[in-house]
């Protein structure tokens, strides 16, 4: 059960609600937007009994394992403001493009020029890279991020990049517009807790074999710590099929959009993971309901740090962006 | 290696080719369309050495596990004529709609009327139903098929329906336009062998956990027995995710279209398996490259034999068909 | 619900039972052993109401999707007599060993000599081989089987071999002691139906991505057609892990033994599929409760028709058999 | 390539080795035990060229993605000393038993008494619990751990418990004997890095859909940061099968023991996850080569914090321990 509290609710009123003997435990949650009581328990109660209490704005029964991220209480879609009027969700669509890893000033400049030409406002790229092997390149770290920030800022481009651990949140905070949580940290609950205390949007990737329900529960961690600005991301799951990198689960996009009010983006580059197939999977994702697409693009994919076999070159990128815009028109029609 | 033989090739010439000491085994294949020698072996040879032999039209190295179904030798796409000018593949798109099971004359008439109104030319439906439990309804069998055939014929509608075993091929032959092979029979090699000797198209579903390569190898069974008219079908795979019925593998559509010249259709009804999501997955499949969509439709899904939770009613069907046609325009543009 | 009928039940009594208006459908089943009515329906009824009817021996509620294969009605374990006092199940353990494919008279003779030395009474081997590619060797067929039968018979060795289609059952019947159904035919319901009409044991392999419930439902096809002599087989499932051939699902052995009264055998050769690991997985299977182990053995694995990377040589075989016998002692203790 | 350096190696000698123009990058690693240079690159070189350099003890080519955790350079098995002569690996077998969560002083005392009676020296239990939902109980934290430590210490019992984030390492350090890394943190590389700087053993669980190779690469993070005391743990993977909690991958135990010199333990409680099946899977794990078993035990499983459906009671625990000891005798024979 979710009790939405009035903005004007007093502590006295909250205490009164909690002291009702409902057989529930109460989680008192204050976000940037509103205050909620999440009530966990199994007893059947008459919602009206709660609805008439002072300080209560609305009350909803939510049977899902996730609560605040569910459409069961919030039917309208969430719009997230990334800054300077750039929005995602509830009708606003965004493409996030850029390299796998931030490599150099030249690379950043080149990418930004490409994004501006293509009308893209959000740049992706990694400065902290999770790598299976300890002997692989792990990214340029804060030096890379500061440089990137300076150039992006000058050009009105927003930054989405991965944060890997709690201690990085504070140092990265002023330089990122969206904190990305990678698939491997999808159930790093301490990291999610801390990102719930931040006032910047969080892009949360589905785990490598994470269920749709688990993704929404992970988002619930962020939300219940105070941050309502969450973007969900489908990036492919692990299955027996090895003809591609991951099984991009287009179904999940459709279901997430139905089960949750949060925006959902697709990452076909890491999903199918093969350059020549990225366009079709990006377009399919849009038809399935995606509010955005993350894609890897590099001036010269063959020279990118990571192997770059999923990365588009600028020409391919421009062509796909054009098609995605057309697909969006069809979806909106 | 595939050696395409000239139409005019003589047995003498074929014998001469085979007698070349290449360290290969030869499979001599005569289809409705042409004659081929499929050569299996590992020795490196100079293709020109073969290309200059009498009776040889062309020769191709095909490293894939599948041969005749590969784009490695046939770059152009295959178009399949289902009869009366109804084609699929190589630019032609077809919707195949109808109930899970053929139930009654009324149901058939109602479905046909719906298809005609919607401009659909191929009707799907089961008369032999594979069921996990021996105690479940297994379909009306030949009685249902003969009735269906009569009504379909009168209305210019083509029939696609599942054949489950070799002994059914002969009795069904005159009443079907496309033989469907279900997911559970995807590697029923004896059935595939026999369908290769038939002159009607075969719609071959991917196995429940079949790989893309295995699907193409199963198609190779049909092709190498003489029948080039094969339609591949993605219908969802088994994964750990249980938020839907199967993980409709949109990626597979894109890859099959790239790896093979055969047409590919999507079955979102059995894929995601939830009525309210079928439309988005159908549209996504089209963007991924599908040459057709199979969908379940019933006048009253709640009354359908099987539970029908993936089945659209007529109103939903009309709406989706309209959207699919628009999506096709975008793909063709 | 399962109604066990008395051996002395009259048709009149059966008709009287069926005419009770229970809201159930009745499946009247006569096996080699007994007669049953399988009643499918959802209505709650008082079992005693049935239990007191004439001709009824016992009545059981079975909520499982499978019925006659369930322990819900038959708590004691099933023992299957393969002939000449060779039994499996209910305390009797059998090893079935032999090559992947039957290749030649020499190979059969050599294998039989090895089995006799090791005290093994059942020989496995394929004469009809399901192969992903139509261009692969498909086995020696009936010629191989007849030869094998002659040599096996002379030596008191029983034969288990795969049947791939309905039309092979009759021709193979007199030459096999156990009909094997392969993973790819695990849901070939027509084949299962026909094997239910045969008086020889059926060894039924789990499908490549078959669930435990589906395996028991497939066994139900055989049972409900009249054949109670069914041996279940775990042979590995498809998962994302590629460090071995299949994920041998040891858990399934334990669960099948709990859910069903039928004997269960393990096939570690096709399960983990790597020679040097077969022994440990065989032993683990025994601890998990297996009533038997199928294993591939060849005088010279490197020269076996199939690649043979899962096949033991005679020395390895002897060593493993000795360990398996010790493990059985521990299980029985 | 791994270059093992002599204990007496001088910095001058190391510099000389690194300055050889091999086209390799060098990772200079100092563990509790020895110093290594891990050389990453693709050039073929003559190992003897390195072997003769001053300061080099030995040099090995290791083609695996993991290096120091591979048997390719260290054929003998690693033995880990948990303190007071309690060892695991290289012939020493340990059972780690205890509740899912540490709940109370009474519960700890009761568990310790049970362990001592059964001859078990290591107690498992969670004080920091990773939970899918933010509204679930997350464990007693440091208060619980300090209490547990006091009682365990008095009784000569060692503690293994999960650490979830970097900041917990320091505070937990003095109270744990083995740091456990849970499945969800299996690729939390920052946590692995930091645990590599600690002088206590790390028990590393396989990720929910982690490959065997990824598990060894995660262990490589710990090892390459200086900590050679790593215990690998198989705890079940995610597959399509839902008849049990996870697919306990017994195969992985056998393969890990072959590919790595590190000890491997099995966690059947979290693997199959059903109380009545835990015993058979534990025994199967031992036959597959496990050096230890972790199991959940509780005085009254029904009253345990988590649902406890995988938890044994004391009577079941005693019975299983006895059987495990017998199984070990068979393995050692």
Chain B hits for D207, Cβ within 8 Å: none
pLDDT category of residue A333 using cuts at 50, 70 and 90:
confident
Beta pairing class for C158-162 and C178-181: parallel
Chain C hits for A242, CB-CB cut-off 8 Å, are 242
pTM for the full predicted model: 0.96
Which residue is closest to A208 within chain C, CA to CA?
C240
Residue of A nearest to C245 (CA): A240
DSSP C9-72: --HHHHHHHHTS--S-EEEEEE-SS-EEEEEE------HHHHHTSTTEEEEE---SS--TTBTT
Check pLDDT > 90 for residue D46.
no
Taking residues B157-170, what's their average pLDDT? 97
Interface chains of chain C (3 or more CB pairs under 8 Å): A, B, D
- Residues B311/B269, Cβ–Cβ less than 8 Å: yes
DSSP state, residue C295: E
Q: What is the DSSP letter of D208?
A: T
| B13-56 pLDDT per residue, tens | 999 999 887 788 899 999 999 999 999 988 888 888 889 999 99
> DSSP letter string over B118-138?
HT--EEE-BSS---SSTTS--
- Residue B101 pairs in a beta bridge with B126
Collapsing DSSP states into helix, strand and coil, what is residue A329?
helix
Closest CA to B206 of B238, B245, B177, B242: B238
Tell me the shortest Cα–Cα distance from A194 to chain D, in angstroms: 12
Model pLDDT, residue D164: 97
A307, pLDDT greater than 70: no
**What tokens appear for B24 in the block?**
């290969």
Residue of B nearest to D241 (CA): B240
| Longest distance between any two alpha carbons in chain C, whole Å | 65
Question: CB neighbours (10 Å) of residue A75?
Answer: 7
pLDDT tens, residue by residue, D3-27: 999 999 999 999 999 988 778 889 9
Mean pLDDT of A110-119: 98
Contact yes or no for C132 and B188 at CB 8 A: no
Minimum distance, in Å, between the CA of residue D81 and any CA atom of chain A = 25
The token pair at A90 is: 């509830």
| Residue A188 pLDDT > 70 | yes
Mutate to test the interface with D, among C216, C276, C280 (most CBs of D within 10 A): C280
At which residue do the structure tokens 């083609």 appear? D63
Q: Searching chain A, which residue's CA lies closest to the CA of residue D221?
A: A134
**How confident is the model at residue A42, as a pLDDT?**
81
The whole-number pLDDT of residue C210 equals 97
Do the beta carbons of residue D169 and residue A168 sit within 8 Å? no
Show me where the domains of chain D are located: 2-60, 80-332
pLDDT tens-digit readout, A231-287: 999 999 999 999 999 999 999 999 999 999 999 999 999 999 999 999 999 999 999
Interface test with C, best of B36, B65, B134 (most C CBs within 10 A): B134
Is it the case that residue D41 has pLDDT exceeding 90?
A: no
Q: Does the distance separating the beta carbons of D255 and C237 come in below 8 Å?
A: no
Closest by alpha carbon to C104, among C251, C303, C250, C263?
C303
Q: Which of C249, C272, C287 to probe the D interface (max D CBs under 10 A)?
A: C287
Q: Give residue ranges of C with CB < 8 Å to any D CB.
A: 209, 211-213, 237, 239-244, 247-252, 254-255, 258, 271-272, 276-277, 280-281, 283-289, 323, 326-327, 330, 333
Question: Any idea what DSSP says for residue B303?
Answer: G
Chains touching D (at least 3 CB pairs under 8 A) are: A, B, C
Where does D2-60 sit in CATH, by number? 3.30.70
Which residues of C have a CB under 8 Å from any CB of B? 25, 27, 38, 40, 65-67, 130-135, 164-167, 184-185, 187-191, 193, 207-209, 213-214, 217-218, 220-221, 224-225, 238
Q: What is the pLDDT at residue D284?
A: 98
Domains D2-60 and D80-332 share a fold: no
C-alpha span between C23 and D73 (Å, rounded): 70
Q: Check A214 against D132: CB less than 8 A apart.
A: yes
What is the pLDDT of chain B when averaged over all its residues? 95
Residue A195's pLDDT band (cuts 50, 70, 90): very high
Q: What are phi and psi of B58, to 5 degrees?
A: -160, 160
Predicted confidence (pLDDT) per residue in D56-68, tens digit = 999 999 999 999 9
Residue D59 pairs in a beta bridge with D3
Cβ–Cβ below 8 Å for B285 and A284:
yes
**Mean pLDDT in residue range D78-86:** 97
In CATH terms, the fold of domain A80-332 is TIM Barrel (3.20.20)
Q: Can you list the alpha helix ranges (DSSP code H) found in chain C?
A: 11-18, 47-51, 105-118, 141-154, 166-173, 189-195, 212-224, 250-259, 268-271, 275-288, 314-332
- The pLDDT of residue A20 is 83
Low-confidence ranges of chain C (pLDDT < 70): 306-307
A33: number of Cβ within 10 Å: 12
B contact test, residue of C26, C134, C220 with most B CBs within 10 A? C134
Tokens describing residue B66: 């599948």
Q: Which residues of D touch C288 (CB under 8 A)?
A: 280-281, 283-284
Instruction: Output the pLDDT for position D75.
Output: 85
**Mean pLDDT within D144-166:** 98
CB-CB contact of D327 with D287 (8 Å) = yes
């Amino acid at each position: 059960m979710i009790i939405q509290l009035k903005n004007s609710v007093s502590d006295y009123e909250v205490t009164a609600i909690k002291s009702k003997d409902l057989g529930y435990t109460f989680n008192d949650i204050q976000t940037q937007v509103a205050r909620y009581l999440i009530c966990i328990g199994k007893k059947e109660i008459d919602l009206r009994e709660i609805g008439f209490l002072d300080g209560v704005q609305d009350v909803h029964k939510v049977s899902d394992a996730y609560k605040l991220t569910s459409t069961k209480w919030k039917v309208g879609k969430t719009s997230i403001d990334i800054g300077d009027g750039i929005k995602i969700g509830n009708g606003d669509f965004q493409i996030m493009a850029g390299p796998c890893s931030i490599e150099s000033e030249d690379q950043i400049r080149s990418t930004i020029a490409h994004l501006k030409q293509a009308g893209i406002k959000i740049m992706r790229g990694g400065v902290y890279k999770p790598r299976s092997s300890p002997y692989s390149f792990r990214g340029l770290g804060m030096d890379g991020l500061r440089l990137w920030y300076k150039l992006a800022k000058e050009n009105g481009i927003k930054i989405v990049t991965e944060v890997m651990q709690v201690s990085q949140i504070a140092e990265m905070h002023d330089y990122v517009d969206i904190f990305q949580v990678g698939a491997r940290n999808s159930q790093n609950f301490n990291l999610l807790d801390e990102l719930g205390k931040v006032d910047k949007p969080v892009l949360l990737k589905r785990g490598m074999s994470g269920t749709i329900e688990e993704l929404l529960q992970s988002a619930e961690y962020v939300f219940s710590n105070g941050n309502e600005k969450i973007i969900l991301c489908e990036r492919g799951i692990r299955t027996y099929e090895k003809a591609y990198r991951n099984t991009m689960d287009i179904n999940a996009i459709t279901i997430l959009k139905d089960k949750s009010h949060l925006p959902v983006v697709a990452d076909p580059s890491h999903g199918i993971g093969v350059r020549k197939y990225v366009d079709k999977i990006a377009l399919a994702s849009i038809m399935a309901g995606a509010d955005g697409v993350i894609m890897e693009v590099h001036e010269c994919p063959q020279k990118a740090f990571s192997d770059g076999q999923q990365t588009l070159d600028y020409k391919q990128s421009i062509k796909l962006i054009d098609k995605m815009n057309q697909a969006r028109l069809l979806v909106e029609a």
